[in-house]
Structure 1
Amino acid sequence: MMQLRQLDMKRITEEERRMASVLAKKEEEKKRESHKQSLLKEKRRLTINNVARQWDLQQQRVANIATNEDRKDSDSPQDPCQIDGSTLSAFPEETG
Structure 2
Amino acid sequence: MLAVPNKRLVRQMLLNAVRKPLTISFHLLHTARRKLFTTMAASQAEVQSSGASKNPKLKAVPDVDIDKNGRFKYILIKVHDPDKEREFKHIVRGYARCEYH
TM-score bin, normalised by smaller chain: under 0.3
> Whose strand proportion is higher, 1 or 2?
2
> Whose helix proportion is higher, 1 or 2?
1
Higher relative contact order (CA 8 A, sep 6+): 2
What is the TM-score with the length of structure 2 in the denominator?
0.24
What is the TM-score with the length of structure 1 in the denominator?
0.25
The structure whose Rg is larger is: 1
